[in-house]
Amino acid sequence: MERVGRSPVTDDRSFVTINLDGVDVEVEAGQALIDAAQKAGTYIPRFCYHPRMNAAGLCRACLVEVEGPRGTALVPSCTLPVGDGMVVHTKSETAKKAQEGVLEFLLINHPLDCPVCDKGGECPLQDQAFAYGPGESRFVEEKRHYEKPIEISDLILLDRERCILCARCTRFSDEISGDPLIEFKDRGNYVQVITFPDEPFASYFSGNTVQICPVGALTAKPYRFKARPWDIDGVESVSLVDAVHSRISIQTSHNEIIRIYGVDNDATNHGWLSDKDRFVHNHVQSDGRVTTPMVRENGELVAASWADAIGLVSERLASYDSSTVGGLGGARSTNEDAYAFSKFMRSVVGTPHLDAQLADGLDPVFATSVVSRAAINDLESARTILLWGPDLKEELPVLYLRVRRAATELGANLVVVHPRRTGLDDVAAEIIRYKPGTGSEVLRKLIAGEGEFANARAILSEGPVVALVGRTGLTEDPDTAEAVAAFALELPEAKVLPLMRRGNVYGALDMGVAPALLPGRVAIDDADGRAALEAAWGPIPDGPGLNSTGILHGLAEGQLRALVLNGSDPVRDHPIPSMATAALENAEFVVAFEMFISDSSAHADVVFPVAGLGEVEGTATNLEGRIQKMNRIITPAGESRPVWSIMNDLALTMGSDLGLTSAEAISVEIADVAPVYAGVTWDALSWGPGREGVVLPGPDGTQPIQYIPTDRGVPVIAGHRILHTSRVLYDDGVMVRHSDGISGLAQRGAAYLHPRDASMLAVTDGDEVVVQLDGAVQLPVVIDPDLTEGTIYVPFNLAATAGLGAVGTLRIDAVRGGDA
Amino acid sequence: MEAHPADSNTLARYLDTGGYEALRKALKKMKPEDVAAEVKASNIRGRGGASFPTGVKWGFLPPDTRPRYLVINGDESEPGTFKDRMLLERDPHQLVEGIAISAYALDVQQAFVYIRGEYPKPARRLQRAIDEAYEAGYLGTDILGTGFDLDITIHLGGGAYICGEETALLSSLEGRRGEPRLKPPFPAIEGLYAKPTIVNNVETISNVPWIVANGGAKYAAIGPETSSGTRVMSLSGHLKKPGDYEVVAGLTWRDLIYDVGGGIRDDRELKAWVPGGASAPWFVPAEHLDTPVTIDDIAKQGSMIGSGAVIVMDDSTNVVGAAHRLVRFFSHESCGQCTPCREGTTWLERILDRILNGYGRPEDIGLLLDVCDNISPGLSWPPAMTTICPLGPSATAPVVSIMRYFRDEVEAMIPTPVGATAASADGTRGEVAGD
């Protein structure tokens, strides 16, 4: 049977004619009757049906009469694909009585909680009872009772009395997120949704069930009792938690963000969010926010006036030789702020040393300008998907959902290559696990289809192929990803998607916050491109400049003297934390544009308070090269301002006019100056199909650089033990740390060892070891048989693992006797 | 030989009485399609409750998809039904031989027997018979040297009537919750593990050896054309001789109740009876006593022969109590997936409970019927459904029956409210007594 529900994106559309309540209408073939009717203007009530999940047909609210050869029958319209000539009655007496009957049935055990229920005001049960229900319940007996609510995870509360057993939450968890941690228990009148014993609903996607629950059975702790839907304002924007840029609605009450909702963008997130996307907003209201300019006096950062702070910074920056100043950051910025940073540093400060990455991503040219770049929607028609890169469930969770959908619903064969178990292993057709540092050897064998790689190679020979490539961890050479891409592009009908995780890193690179790129994906040694830019900006220094490692090294050694941090935390995020710390301690002058005092901005001489989520308007560019509009809705906290505005003032004080009058004016300038962004306007991104974003370059332009990836030959690292370190969703990053509700969810951290490594070290689960790479950290051991022998895994940037870094000579020692 | 020898379940006794000769004939002398043709010619209709022609069901299998599965439905949970239990306990080899012949006809190499968890003894007996059959070469590989392979696996249910519904049974067999699936697709197209599957009742398949040994035409000649063959009816209730009886369709209810069943206990008066399991609307002496017991006659009269379970009620029966007990069964057994059944059956149970305990209201009569109507619109026969499967509509059968035949008794249990007039006590929806 064809699955009736949202069909894969396709350009082939055919139509059929149905008779809907007496009127002939033409509707798209292959869709469910409930959708066809809705598109034709007739709404049929429903609870269990959700357009992004397979139809279950169990709530029975969508019953309509359909004429057939054996007479007219009541059919659930969510399970019936439209057929040519179908005659449908949605409002006949029988249909209406059935719909009313179902609504009365749903209400007989439903508690009269509306006055105290979060869902009141935005409740499909309320709305449809009002529109399609009988108006009165005739039930006079005792309703079902449960202890209410109960905590089923750190974030989610369950009220079983309110639950109408539509199974949306259980089906989402099983089908979509692959975390079947909630399920129906018992039978008939006693069916309830519940977790398994001793297993909370600790899914990275649990918040989606709150959003799709049609009643107030599932509520989110961070939002509970905060506001009534009719008091809420909202604007659409994108989540910059990672580079997927899931579409969100930022919802506020009394100038405070109280909730983030998922918005359905067909190109990216399909309405889903990770819990980090959803619950990270509390950092905006956090008490830890920097709300005034701060200047260091007698060793302490104290509040200062804008005049003093700007005056000091402009005086100091102007005093240094341009080539001794470096700039880091941009991934947390909008495109407009990143552009301002790029323009300020290159044309006012006059330095080419700029990097939005912290040696934790990929080569910027490869990442932004690779040929045959895949869009996320290419997953919908892929026959084969190669994933050689990060564990998507941890680093790009919404992309994980899209890949999972392709593998489970759309029949794609998934090949996963990674040093340890990933969230997609259970839906993969083939899994390849390897020791970090041996990637090039694995790639060679995979290309040749040697031995155990024969099956994977055979799978990869069936196109269309979508290859998702990136660094599996921070100890992996970034060129491995490019070598994989080079191989992948030889596969049938192949497209490749370079994966980087950090917020708006693609947008920042596109704005020229990179040592070898100018705005618009122009190479720094492109004479014509450079000339065009100088016509707009004035003279800019020769390049390429130093990358982040070079900048930090230069500062640590004294060749560089000053540093501008644009929302960047190198002490925590750079693979050589000791060098980052030395750089910040040794630098003569550090100015930070930040929302918080972090391990890095704590070293600053001046901190400027910066506006963040919901406080800035602009655009951002995701990993597909899709640009979307971000909107603002709350006033920036305290005296915080958008980055571009502060830099404009700085420039003026330094004697230059950046000409940045508003974020929108900047976007117009970007369209002028950056070739790939030509023709992009805020208007086009705010209305019509542009709301889902526009993939750059647009239809009229090609990219200045058509980058063809090559295998540069990454050396195999021989070594008895190699560290694999990568990000996990909840860590000790700045935003998570300050987000009430999810800050406590980070794992405590451990050193994961293969059983044989553990026995060679004579340690077992729970014993303590000291792991040393750049720095040393003491961690408990967890035995992990899914690792390859010789691979040690430590999650990156947890409180307990910070300082370990990803570069150095690995040492691991058991802590003996007496030590905790 | 006595009629029911104590060792009837053993291979020795089965062989003694001609056992496995039909299997030998099928495997050695007939082609699979010939066997299927005999079953079709027999006109045998399913004995599980739906009475669907077995040969027609077998014909739904798509020709080229493999593997195929044969699943025997031994979930027997319809109240009043205990025939499959007897067949499993007392004649398991007959079923084994029937499975083997049917599997041969259908090109099945793996058959399952799903037995309700509350039948440990029948399951043990069947397993012993299966073990004996393997040892003797009637199951396993290269059966009787003909190259035909078959394995039979028994699976015990967890105690749910709904797992007698074929798609819920298949889900349970797959290790999931026993919840009926949406149809289409039907099991013959997409069944166990999404492969073509035939689900047949224990008694149905138990008939196959006789059909093959004697020919389908001979079977069809027994009894009326559309209720061919013999069938086992479980008689229970207020009878002198309750039990399982193998009968030929066409006898009257009078014959069945008074001759076969020995008449009413203590020679009391017959008040009503359930003709075919708890899902069947009731029959009463005035209308049905002298009508024939055939599948189609009963259907024409607005009920069903179902699983052949007849529950007889004499004049000592409180019909509201009887209806409440049956409705409580359905409410307890509802899988809970769909709204009208999960909520509606429990609501019906509660209303009947109130009436039984003296807390009924005049409007409850209309309310009961309207709730039934919201589960099974039109309260017609065969029942329409707002539900996924017929369990919900089954619960309405006892309610509709007592309203149709014993309304005065129901009304007599409802106290007249103070100040009420005749007009307001007629049970119309929503009206308050005294208006």
Which residues partner with A694 through β-bridges? A627
Buried b / exposed e over A404-438, threshold 16 CB at 10 Å, is bbbbebeebbbbbbbbbbbbbbebbebbbbbbbbb
Please name the member of B184, B336, B387 whose beta carbon is closest to the beta carbon of A191. Answer: B336
Closest residue in B to A97 (Cα) is: B374
Interface test with B, best of A80, A160, A174, A189 (most B CBs within 10 A): A189
Residue B184, preceding bond cis, omega within 30 degrees? yes
* φ, ψ of residue B407 in degrees (nearest 5): -60, -40
The alpha carbon of residue B410 is apart from the nearest alpha carbon of chain A, in Å, by 19
What is the tens place of the pLDDT at every residue in A578-606?
999 999 999 999 999 999 999 999 999 99
Beta strand A694-695 with A626-630 is antiparallel
What is the tens place of the pLDDT at every residue in A509-518?
999 999 999 9
Separation of alpha carbons B46 and B40, rounded Å: 12
What is the tens place of the pLDDT at every residue in A395-430?
999 999 999 999 999 999 999 999 999 999 999 999
Complete DSSP assignment for A213-225: -SSTTEEETTTTT
* B297 in contact with A, Cβ within 8 Å: no
Is B374–A101 a contact, with Cβ atoms under 8 angstroms apart? yes
* B247 in contact with A, Cβ within 8 Å: no
* φ, ψ of residue A470 in degrees (nearest 5): -170, -170
Q: What is the mean pLDDT of residues A24-33?
A: 94
Separation of alpha carbons B285 and A176, rounded Å: 57
Please name the member of A61, A74, A108 whose beta carbon is closest to the beta carbon of B343. Answer: A108
Helix A527-537, helix A663-673: angle, nearest 10: 150
Measuring CA to CA, which residue among A697, A593, A709, A703 is closest to residue A648? Answer: A593
Q: What is the mean pLDDT of residues A460-475?
A: 97
B415 C-beta neighbours (distance < 10 Å), count = 13
Separation of alpha carbons A814 and A361, rounded Å: 32
Please name the member of A1, A63, A188 whose beta carbon is closest to the beta carbon of B386. Answer: A63
A785 C-beta neighbours (distance < 10 Å), count = 10
Q: Which residues of B touch A99 (CB under 8 A)?
A: none
> What's the Cα-to-Cα distance from A625 to each of A605, A618, B110, B304, rounded to whole Å?
36, 16, 53, 65
Q: What is the CA radius of gyration of chain B?
A: 23
User: Coil, strand or helix: which one is A17?
Assistant: strand
Separation of alpha carbons B430 and A261, rounded Å: 42
Is B334–A61 a contact, with Cβ atoms under 8 angstroms apart? no
Please name the member of B335, B339, B367 whose beta carbon is closest to the beta carbon of A59. Answer: B339
Intervals of chain B under pLDDT 70: 1, 419-435
Measuring CA to CA, which residue among B402, B390, B335, B399 is closest to residue B371? Answer: B399
Q: Which residues of B touch A2 (CB under 8 A)?
A: none
Q: How many CA atoms lie within 13 A of A315 on its CB side?
A: 8
* B160 in contact with A, Cβ within 8 Å: yes
Interface test with A, best of B343, B368, B431 (most A CBs within 10 A): B343
**Structure confidence at residue A819 as a pLDDT band (50, 70, 90):** very low
Separation of alpha carbons A4 and A756, rounded Å: 49
* B195 in contact with A, Cβ within 8 Å: no
Q: Which residues contact A806 (CB under 8 A, 6 or more apart)?
A: A473, A474, A475, A575, A576, A723, A725, A773, A774, A796
Is A94–B377 a contact, with Cβ atoms under 8 angstroms apart? yes
Q: How many CA atoms lie within 13 A of A50 on its CB side?
A: 23
Residue A200, preceding bond cis, omega within 30 degrees? no
For residue A70, pLDDT over 90 is answered with no
Separation of alpha carbons A752 and A795, rounded Å: 9
Closest residue in B to A106 (Cα) is: B339
Please name the member of A101, A136, A139 whose beta carbon is closest to the beta carbon of B386. Answer: A101
Counting one residue from A and one from B, how many pairs have CB atoms under 8 Å apart? 98
Is B386–A74 a contact, with Cβ atoms under 8 angstroms apart? yes
Interface test with B, best of A60, A75, A103 (most B CBs within 10 A): A60
The alpha carbon of residue A161 is apart from the nearest alpha carbon of chain B, in Å, by 13
Which residues partner with B197 through β-bridges? B69
Measuring CA to CA, which residue among A741, A317, A367, A736 is closest to residue A521? Answer: A367
Q: What is the pLDDT of residue A291?
A: 97
Please name the member of A74, A108, A164 whose beta carbon is closest to the beta carbon of B384. Answer: A74
Q: What is the pLDDT of residue B429?
A: 42
Q: What is the pLDDT of residue A524?
A: 94
For residue A5, pLDDT over 50 is answered with no
Residue A350: what residue type?
G
Closest residue in B to A164 (Cα) is: B339
> What's the Cα-to-Cα distance from A18 to each of A83, A99, B369, rounded to whole Å?
7, 21, 35
B89 C-beta neighbours (distance < 10 Å), count = 17
Separation of alpha carbons A239 and A237, rounded Å: 7
Q: Which residues contact A546 (CB under 8 A, 6 or more apart)?
A: A326, A352, A353, A355, A515, A554, A560
Q: Which residues of B touch A73 (CB under 8 A)?
A: 384
| Contact indicator for A609, A629 with CB cutoff of 8 Å | no
* B8 in contact with A, Cβ within 8 Å: no
What is the tens place of the pLDDT at every residue in A133-148?
988 899 999 999 999 9
Q: What is the pLDDT of residue B417?
A: 74
What is the tens place of the pLDDT at every residue in A671-689?
999 989 998 999 999 998 8
Please name the member of A1, A106, A184 whose beta carbon is closest to the beta carbon of B339. Answer: A106
Closest residue in B to A135 (Cα) is: B430
* B386 in contact with A, Cβ within 8 Å: yes
| Maximum alpha-carbon separation in chain B | 84
Q: What is the pLDDT of residue B315?
A: 96
Closest residue in B to A73 (Cα) is: B384
The alpha carbon of residue A405 is apart from the nearest alpha carbon of chain B, in Å, by 20
Please name the member of A109, A136, A187 whose beta carbon is closest to the beta carbon of B343. Answer: A109
* B184 in contact with A, Cβ within 8 Å: yes
Interface test with A, best of B330, B342, B368 (most A CBs within 10 A): B342
Interface test with B, best of A4, A46, A58 (most B CBs within 10 A): A58
Q: What is the pLDDT of residue A817?
A: 62
Interface test with A, best of B195, B338, B356 (most A CBs within 10 A): B338
Separation of alpha carbons A581 and A601, rounded Å: 11
Separation of alpha carbons A675 and A382, rounded Å: 30
Separation of alpha carbons A467 and A448, rounded Å: 18
Q: What is the pLDDT of residue B243?
A: 97
Beta strand B140-143 with B148-156 is antiparallel
Q: What is the pLDDT of residue A7?
A: 47
Is B333–A187 a contact, with Cβ atoms under 8 angstroms apart? yes
Closest residue in A to B350 (Cα) is: A141
A599 C-beta neighbours (distance < 10 Å), count = 19
Q: What is the pLDDT of residue A781?
A: 97
Considering chain A, what is the average pLDDT of its residues? 95
What 3 state SS string does chain B have? CCCCCCCCCCHHHHHHCCCCHHHHHHHHHCCHHHHHHHHHHCCCECCCCCCCEHHHHHCCCCCCCCCCEEEEEECCCCCCCCHHHHHHHHCHHHHHHHHHHHHHHHCCCEEEEEECCCCHHHHHHHHHHHHHHHHHCCCEEEECCCCEEEEEEEEECCCCHHHHCHHHHHHHHCCCCCCCCCCCCCCCCCCHHHCCEEEEEHHHHHCHHHHHHHCHHHHHCCCCHHHCCEEEEEEEECECCCEEEEEEECEEHHHHHHHHCCCEHHHCCEEEEECCCCCCCCECHHHHCCCECCHHHHHHCCCCCCCCEEEEEECCCCHHHHHHHHHHHHHHHCCCCCHHHHHHHHHHHHHHHHHHCCCCCCHHHHHHHHHHHHHCHHHCCCCCCCCCCCHHHHHHHHHHHHHHHCHHHHHHCCCCCCCCCCHHHHCCCCCCCCC
Interface test with A, best of B339, B364, B371 (most A CBs within 10 A): B339
Structure token pair of residue A343 = 């323009």
For residue A472, pLDDT over 90 is answered with yes
Q: Which of A19-33, A117-131, A592-606, A697-711 has the lowest mean pLDDT?
A: A697-711
Is the Cα torsion angle A366, A368, A371, A377 positive or negative in sign? Answer: positive
Instruction: Give the H/E segment covering residue A495.
Output: strand A495-499
Please name the member of A105, A109, A190 whose beta carbon is closest to the beta carbon of B374. Answer: A105
Q: Which residues of B touch A164 (CB under 8 A)?
A: 339
What is the tens place of the pLDDT at every residue in A241-263?
999 999 999 999 999 999 999 99
Separation of alpha carbons A524 and A529, rounded Å: 8
Name the B residues in 336-365 with CB < 8 Å from any A CB. Answer: 336-340, 342-347, 350-351, 354, 363
DSSP state of A77: T
Is A58–B373 a contact, with Cβ atoms under 8 angstroms apart? no
Q: What is the CA radius of gyration of chain A?
A: 28
Separation of alpha carbons A346 and B332, rounded Å: 75
Considering chain B, what is the average pLDDT of its residues? 94
Report ipTM for this prediction: 0.93
Separation of alpha carbons A307 and A321, rounded Å: 24
Is B336–A188 a contact, with Cβ atoms under 8 angstroms apart? yes
B224 C-beta neighbours (distance < 10 Å), count = 16
Q: Which residues contact A396 (CB under 8 A, 6 or more apart)?
A: A242, A243, A244, A390, A499, A501, A623
Please name the member of B182, B336, B367 whose beta carbon is closest to the beta carbon of A165. Answer: B336
Q: Which residues of B touch A1 (CB under 8 A)?
A: 184-185, 190
Is A106–B346 a contact, with Cβ atoms under 8 angstroms apart? no
Q: Which residues of A touch B340 (CB under 8 A)?
A: 60, 101-102, 105
Measuring CA to CA, which residue among A644, A480, A667 is closest to residue A566? Answer: A644
Beta strand A776-783 with A811-814 is unpaired
Helix B92-106, helix B21-29: angle, nearest 10: 10
Residue A131 burial (C-beta neighbours within 10 Å; 0-12, 13-18, 19+):
exposed
